[in-house]
Structure 1
Amino acid sequence: MNVRILVILFIAAILGFSSIFVVDEGERAIVKRFGKIGKDAAEQTLVYEPGLHFKVPFFDQVTRLNARILTLDAPADRFVTSEQKDVIVDSFVKWRITDFGQYYLATQQGNQLIAESLLQSKINNGLRSEFGSRTIRDIVSGSRDELQRAAMEGTQDDAEELGITVVDVRVKQINLPREVSEFIYNRMRAQREAVARSHRADGQEKAEVMRAGADALVTLTLAEAERESRTLRGKGDADAAEIYANAYGQNPEFYSLLRSLDAYRTSFASKEDVLVVSPDSEFFQYMKSKNLK
């Protein structure tokens, strides 16, 4: 008799423990009976809050769902910009379950891997749309916060179909494929070379202008100097002629003698020269004895 009571008590204890389940803080629970989700009076999915709850042993199956904010850190993906250039984007998503019934049905009984796969697809679609509407210059030099906010808002409606709310979308890193990096480098180099050519052309133009100005100044200076030298030389010649004329006017005979002596000195300077002149020539007029008295 005591054994029978112990068995009954043991079975009752097992049934009692089997009819109790605990939902921890940060979790929600959904109970399924005979393959159907439990509903409340409003025919909404019955979601159990944290605490102690009861179920029918052996017939009810409890599925616990994470109610915390979760992080989806997927591998980097490739996106195409508006100029048909690829970029490698590494991002992560903060999300949480807000409609547990919808989430349970949309993710094959609350499978988190399936949920993250579907969510990643929707996030990538949003990011692809945002990157596709921007150029590489806009992505690199623009506001990343604006892009992230637009991507989050663009995927919010699609995420609600899964019973999920996207809390935040963050782009950790944006890299360029090797061929795109080379393209940007070549384009930057071409732009810098064009700027350098423009500067060199401006410099050459200014140099030519300065050189032409200097040449004109030199030519003008030389012409002015030549003019002044000719003026001074002419004035000197005139003064010399005037002096000679005055001197000649004072004593023409003496002036003629000096000129003749200069002519003699010049003519007989070299002893190797031969001069054939008639003795009666005027060249020797001052060498005759009567003119030397």
Structure 2
Amino acid sequence: MRTRTLVAALVLAALALYLVFSSIYVINEGEQALVVRLGAPVDVVDRPGLKLKAPFIDQVYVTSTRSLLLEPPVEQAIMGDQKRLEVQPYARYRIVDPLRFYQALRTPEAANAQLAQFVSSSARRALGQA
């Protein structure tokens, strides 16, 4: 009987500890976060520190405020005189508004895919005119 109460107390303590740790998140310097409650954006957090959220209800999407690097793969471009040229384009971008970023793209991987197409076509067009 005593072991059952001990096991039950340990299970309850583990559950309480899990709830506490799932309701805490950290924003580092150079980061900003968007808190989404049940699919609807609730708050944009841009100050670093230890923050609280509702466990199981809120999701936190953390993005960097620093410049991010995009390096699409090397590709061949045909110049105006029909010569082939290997080009490695790159771009740097920054996420200024995490709410608009979340509404438009959701993830940095989706942003990289969209920007890679744009950078690639812009580089080809500029080299084609040269």
Tell me the TM-score range normalised by the shorter chain. Answer: 0.7 to 0.9
Give the deviation of 1:115 after TM superposition. 1.5
Residue matched to 2:111: 115
Give the deviation of 1:15 after TM superposition. 3.1
Structure 1 residues 114 and 7, CA, compared in 2 at 3 Å: closer, same or farther? closer
> 1:244-286: per-residue Cα shift (whole Å, max 9, x none)?
xxxxxxxxxxxxxxxxxxxxxxxxxxxxxxxxxxxxxxxxxxx
- Larger Rg computed on CA atoms: 1
How many equivalent residue pairs?
126
Matching of residue 81 in structure 1 with residue 79 in structure 2: yes
Residue matched to 1:155: none
Residue matched to 2:97: 99
For residues 123 and 66 of structure 2, what CA distance do their matches in structure 1 show?
A: 24
> 1:149-201: per-residue Cα shift (whole Å, max 9, x none)?
xxxxxxxxxxxxxxxxxxxxxxxxxxxxxxxxxxxxxxxxxxxxxxxxxxxxx
Aligned residue for 1:56, secondary structure, equals coil
Residue matched to 2:23: 19
For residues 85 and 8 of structure 2, what CA distance do their matches in structure 1 show?
A: 74
Structure 1 residues 9 and 89, CA, compared in 2 at 3 Å: closer, same or farther? closer
Ranges in structure 2 where 5+ consecutive residues have no aligned partner:
none
- Give the number of the structure with larger relative contact order, counting CA–CA contacts within 8 Å between residues 6 or more apart: 2
Residue matched to 2:35: 31
> 1:205-236: per-residue Cα shift (whole Å, max 9, x none)?
xxxxxxxxxxxxxxxxxxxxxxxxxxxxxxxx
Ranges in structure 1 where 5+ consecutive residues have no aligned partner:
40-45, 135-293
For residues 100 and 24 of structure 2, what CA distance do their matches in structure 1 show?
A: 25
- CA RMSD in angstroms comes to 2.8
Residue pair 1:19, 1:55 contacting (<8 A) in 2 also: yes
Counterpart mapping for 1:135-174 below 5 A: none
Aligned AA (1:35):
G
Structure 1 residues 114 and 82, CA, compared in 2 at 3 Å: closer, same or farther? same
Give the deviation of 1:50 after TM superposition. 2.0
After TM superposition, the score normalised by the length of structure 1 is 0.37
After TM superposition, the score normalised by the length of structure 2 is 0.74
Residue pair 1:47, 1:101 contacting (<8 A) in 2 also: no
Counterpart mapping for 1:3-82 below 5 A: 11-39=15-43, 46-82=44-80
Residue matched to 1:235: none
Give the deviation of 1:22 after TM superposition. 0.8
Counterpart mapping for 1:169-180 below 5 A: none
